[in-house]
Amino acid sequence: MVVHDELTLAVRAAIEGGRVIMDVYESEDFVVEKKEDNSPLTRADQAAHEVIMQELEGSGLPVLSEEGKSIPYGKRKAWKRFWLVDPLDGTKEFVSRNGEFTVNIALIEDGVPVLGVVYVPVLDELFYGAVEQGGYYLSGINSWFGSKERLLETAYRLPLQKNGRPYRVVGSRSHMNGLTVAFIDSIRDEYPDLEIVQRGSSLKICMVAAESGKELHYNKEDLLNPYFIVW
């Protein structure tokens, strides 16, 4: 089960990863390479990977990172507890400089995520949650002058107050497609004041979690990366 030390470690790793990402983001050093699947890769992806690996090393748990070397399935299938990391989720958003990219870290136990941390470097916002503890939100992290251990004591419990806002559908910034548009059209009669918002990376799922405060569900059927709906 998740302990406070592991949550604190994941938060610190995500914030440090975000810090080095912003160093590259603000330097305008946007040399973009292509990975095997033709998705973009920047210097920030690798820099964040290295910092996060260093931070998580102290846990003694293995780390499976999107930017790390390929680890054979025959080895990692025996892992009971491990860190799952995407050092820079939303590289396309990073390159287009719209700020909608995140650092994602999860703790996996017996094949199930039991802890998750998402940091949004440009907005300086943090979303995190754990089983039996709920979800939380923090902002203004870089202005915090105390220890990062005490930082979590100032977090807001999700959901955040909606302030009378209408129902919203949050779609992908870079991967909006006909199926998504068709789904939105299918529910307009039920929600005539529906508001459409587009965001990149895992930020859109954090927005759903922040406003619902309930367990999230999705129709994703496998471990590949098809289009899916979160509600």
Enumerate the domain spans of the chain: 4-157, 159-231
Higher pLDDT, 207 or 34: 207
pLDDT of residue 188: 84
What's the pLDDT tens digit per position in 95-142? Answer: 888 888 999 999 999 988 999 999 999 999 999 999 888 889 988 887
pLDDT of residue 140: 85
Question: Which fold would CATH assign to domain 159-231?
Answer: D-Maltodextrin-Binding Protein; domain 2 (3.40.190)
pLDDT of residue 118: 96
Q: How far apart are alpha carbons 145 and 197 in whole angstroms?
A: 34
pLDDT of residue 1: 43
Whole-prediction pTM: 0.83
Question: Which fold would CATH assign to domain 4-157?
Answer: Fructose-1,6-Bisphosphatase; Chain A, domain 1 (3.30.540)
User: Are the beta carbons of 7 and 130 closer than 8 angstroms?
Assistant: yes
Residue with tokens 């293995």: 62
User: Are the beta carbons of 230 and 218 closer than 8 angstroms?
Assistant: yes
Among the residue ranges 43-47, 75-79, 101-105, 159-163, the one predicted with the least confidence is 159-163
The DSSP result for 138-179, as a single string, is EE-GGG--S-HHHHGGGPEESSPP-TTPPPEEEEESS---HH
